[in-house]
Structure 1
Amino acid sequence: MKRYCFAVDLKDDAESIVQYEYWHKAENGWPEIRKSILDANVRRMDIYRTGNRLFMIMDVNDQFSFAEKSAMDAANSKVREWEELMNRFQQPLPWAKDGEKWTAMQQIFEL
């Protein structure tokens, strides 16, 4: 099992934050999105928020590949639709690379 952590900002707007959290409640999430995440060999995904900053923890198995996940997402119309919806609420971090939404975080401490 391997862990990856990412960060992205929500638009600093109370209504955008409310809407983003609405779509991430279990009863409002799209089952196709959950399936696409599991099909990509992600075993657990958690998203936390403080202010307008989001932090995602992704635990994956040994078969996980970012390239394969990207290809699967690009071929899945429901994932593309979901990402379009989420783009209404999210904005890249100021230091993100061009075209990067979720920015990988570097682990600096472990106990």
Structure 2
Amino acid sequence: MKRIGEMIKVRPEKLEEYKYHHAHAWPEINAMIKECNIQNYTIFHRGDYLFAYYEYVGNDFEKDMAKMAADPKTKEWWDVVKPCQQPLEDRKEGEWWSSMEEVYRLD
């Protein structure tokens, strides 16, 4: 299992809209997340930031993420929620959500 943490900013004027959409997430989106071997997916909010945590339990992360990105319903969902987000200025090339380094874990 691979644990993943990511951050992004939320546009303050879009916060309530973002929360609404995630409180009413589309069933197809939740199904695709699970189909792509992601579990325990959680998004937290504080101030202008969103923090996502999830666990990847598959064997080919890049393949599963490509499958998700190619899914028409996922693309539609991203069209709804991406305007609420603002990528971090120091993100890596090609990132939307900024990846984070795990520095401590207690199992």
Partner residue of 1:94 out of 89, 99, 104? 89
Once the two structures are superposed, the pairs formed by residues 38-57 of structure 1 within 5 Å of their partners are 38-57=34-53
Gaps of 5+ in 1: none
SS in 2 for 1:106: coil
Q: Which runs of 5+ in 2 are unaligned?
A: none
Taking structure 1 as the reference length, the TM-score comes to: 0.86
Partner SS for 2:4: strand
Report if the CA contact (8 A) 2:36-2:65 is conserved: no
Residues 47 and 55, structure 1, Cα contact 8 Å, conserved in 2: yes
More helix by share: 2
Match of 2:72 in 1: 77
Q: How many residues align?
A: 106
| Residue identity opposite 2:103 in structure 1 | I
TM, length-normalised to structure 2: 0.89
How much is the aligned-residue C-alpha RMSD, in angstroms?
1.4
**Structure 1 residue aligned with 2:14:** 16
CA distance in structure 2 between the aligned counterparts of 1:66 and 1:73, rounded to whole angstroms: 11
Which residue in the other structure is 1:106 paired with? 101
SS at match of 1:9: strand
Question: Alpha-carbon deviations, 1:15-51, whole Å to 9, x = none?
Answer: 30000000111xx110010001000011210110101
Q: Which runs of 4+ in 1 moved over 4 A?
A: none
